[in-house]
Amino acid sequence: MATSRPMRWEILDGYYVLVVGAGGIGCELLKNLVLTGFKNIDLIDLDTIDVSNLNRQFLFQKKHVGKSKAQVAKESALQFCPTVNITAYHDSIMNPEYNVEFFRKFMLVMNALDNRAARNHVNRMCLAADIPLIESGSAGYLGQVTVIKKGLTECYECQPKPTQKTFPGCTIRNTPSEPIHCIVWAKYLFNQLFGEEDADQEVSPDTADPEAAWNPEDTATRATASDKDGDIKRVSTKEWARSTGYDPAKLFNKLFKDDIMYLLTMDKLWKTRKAPTPLDWQQLENSARPQEVSAGSGLKDQQVLGVWGLCQLFQRSVETLRSQLQEKGEGAELVWDKDDPPALDFVTAAANLRMHIFSMNMKSPFDVKSMAGNIIPAIATTNAVIAGLIVLEGLKVLSGELESCRTIFLNKCPNLRKKLLIPCVLDPPSASCYVCASQPEVTVKLNVHKTTVLSLQDRILKERFGMVAPDVQIEDGKGTILISSEEGETETNNSKSLADFGIRNGSRLQVDDFLQDYALLVNVLHTEELERDVEFEVVGEAPDKAPPPQSTQEEVKSITNGNKDSAQPSTSFKAEDDDIMIVDSGEEEEEEEGASSSTAATSSGSKRKHSDAETGETSTKRLRTDQSSAAAATNDDDNDDDDIIALD
């Protein structure tokens, strides 16, 4: 790791550095910077300290729970080095006040983030300010560090990343085939009953499912659902639940009996699938057996309850959540939190009951929490190693030795040369990158008659392309302003379709984000052949993941209701390969920091080879097939979620 020009430690106090994130890696990084001799450090983090952070974020103690991470990290670091000048910000790095001029104050920026949106933003701000950025991430035993410098290396967004795994609404509502489908349904149900209602998170049977292709008028008479409080006819799930006083038995029969019987009337859905089996509260209560728990030893959270045990858990959680709503007052809403016991109990019970109905193997509370919270266990030692590598690469950057910087992977097990750390030469910028190319340009395939201006702004420009406050002008010879970042200027356009403004196949949109100092040319490709629930596609973008391996004949025989997982016992997340690398993580902090995309493999599964810095050999990174549905989903940005590559 030595450079040709040794660092003069006495001049470190003249360098100003920015650390973004004060979590697992951030705490270790701040400690390292202070002990290395850096005297001017700015630290920013929006989060507050949670009790679950205390097992690895060692700058925090139990007395700090609920306080600002950045502020407490500063106070703790000052205790062992009072002379250092640390400025702490309890804020989001994406706020407009942290503009390009703010970034230009620093000689180096170091990311210790846990979500893709913030990573994208910092990447663009460093490119605009022409400041070196060190990106990092960890996931379990795996980690990665890389250096990003405008014009010299790949930026964070040079390589496309798989989008966060989503599921069609009809699959969630009508035909779940994997445990993750039921867990997503249960989280939607929590919001419909206790939280903020979202029309896109409906849990009732989807009569518009094209696969069903049935006539409701002909088959409605066959539905023998209860005509009591659980009637299908209701305006809102929450209103109906309130009208029952959140009665657990009535909620249960509505969700797990009446709605399931209604699904059974959609005959075509069950021609090639095993039909679901409705549950009845009274029948289960009459036949209940005490202490219904699955066989096997282990901690309480790793045991799977029987059906009646889940019914009781459902009842207790509903009663507790109902009391919490009442305490908050009229019109109050609850927010689902994986660390809130009643909320987790509700999702565990509801998801497992639905799994049982659809003939899947049920999951333990530990598994449900891992999958619902997108958790990969965080390991303090991994964070410590990654933080040390960040500082080493940072010293190279500040010494002017960018050519000696490397992307470094931390593996779970030694490779053939008995090494855990694998350095790779940095890649040059991608000519096709829509962020750091000289003239960024993309082509988006969409239906101009169905896509609204608001959808273009929120779903495409902000969510997909990571912009904060985009301005959009149509290249129509008139300079028509479609979207303005100034409040109130173009809000009347939001509900109109793109076609209403003359946008058609071949139209070009000039998009600018003043905050990020970023411009993008968007070419519109009109199509009416997008798949169901797909609003748009980025042309030339690779698929989310490599095709799954073919199932063996024995595997096929063990599949129940189209679900391979249902034939397996409930277990916590298990990594399948020693040589896997999380390239990027999504939205949950528990997954800790996902690694940089600057070295991510293309999503198509094609191989990109990187020269080993020590031997000159090449290591191939390939995309691992999706595991998120069968185990704990991977992190990031918001949380995503299948960004895993392997090192050969």
Q: How far apart, in whole angstroms, are the C-alpha atoms of residue 145 and residue 136?
A: 4
25 appears as a binding residue in the annotation: yes
Report whether 24 belongs to an annotated binding site. yes
The answer to whether 45 is a known ligand-binding residue is yes
User: Is position 113 annotated in a ligand binding site?
Assistant: no
488 is in an annotated binding site: no
Q: What is the DSSP secondary structure assignment for residue 561, as one 8-state letter?
A: T
- Annotated ligand binding at 431? The verdict is no
Distance between CA 222 and CA 553 in Å, rounded? 38
Residues contacting 91, CB < 8 A, separation 6+: 44, 46, 98
- Is 352 marked as binding a ligand? no
In single-letter form, the type of residue at position 422 comes to I
27 assigned to a ligand binding site? no
The type of residue at 220 is A
| 118 labelled ligand-binding | yes
Residue 229, classed as helix, strand or coil, is coil
| Interatomic CA distance for residues 310 and 256, integer angstroms | 12
Say whether 123 sits in a helix, a strand or coil.
helix
Active site residue 424: no
Q: Is 37 known to sit in a ligand binding site?
A: no
Tell me: is residue 436 an annotated ligand-binding position.
yes
Compute CA distances 273 → 206, 208, 358, 561, whole Å: 17, 19, 10, 6
CA distance 343 to 350: 11
- Spatial contact of 182 and 355, defined as CB atoms under 8 Å apart: yes
Check the annotation: does 117 bind a ligand: yes
Catalytic residue among 170, 182, 311, 424: 170
Closest C-alpha to 73, from 139, 13, 19: 19
Residue 374, marked binder: no
DSSP string for 373-437: TT-----HHHHHHHHHHHHHHHHHHHTT-GGG-EEEEE-SS--TTS-SEEEEEPPPPPTT-TTTS
Was 424 annotated as part of a binding site? no
Contact 452, 493 (CB under 8 A): no
C-alpha distances in angstroms, 631 versus 186, 497, 620? 17, 40, 25
Residue 477, annotated ligand binder? no
Q: Is 220 annotated as a binding residue?
A: no
Is 408 annotated to bind a ligand? Reply is no
Q: Is 433 annotated as a binding residue?
A: yes
Determine whether the annotation assigns residue 69 to a binding site.
Answer: yes
Contacts of 534 (CB under 8 A, 6+ apart): none
Distance CA 247, CA 321 (A): 12
Residue 81 is labelled as binding a ligand: no
d(CA 227, CA 253): 11
Burial state string for 361-390 with b = 16 or more CB within 10 A and e = fewer than 16: bbbbbbbbbbbbbbbbbbbeebbbbbbebb
The answer to the question of whether 158 is labelled as a binding residue is: yes
At 6, the amino acid letter reads: P
Q: Angle 184-186-191 (CA atoms, 0-180°, nearest 5)?
A: 100
DSSP 514-549: TTTTEEEEEEEEE-S-PPTT--EEETTPPPSSPPPP
Q: What tokens were used for 429?
A: 């910028």
The response to whether 130 counts as a known ligand-binding position is: no
**Rounded-to-integer distance, Cα 122 and Cα 532, Å:** 34
Question: What span, in angstroms and rounded, lies between the C-alpha atoms of 200 and 126?
Answer: 36
Q: Which residue has the tokens 């619902």?
A: 372
Q: What is the set of active-site residues?
A: 170
Task: Report the binding-site residues for ATP.
Answer: 21-26, 45, 53-56, 69, 92-93, 114-119
Task: Report the binding-site residues for Zn(2+).
Answer: 155, 158, 433, 436
Task: Report the binding-site residues.
Answer: 21-26, 45, 53-56, 69, 92-93, 114-119, 155, 158, 433, 436
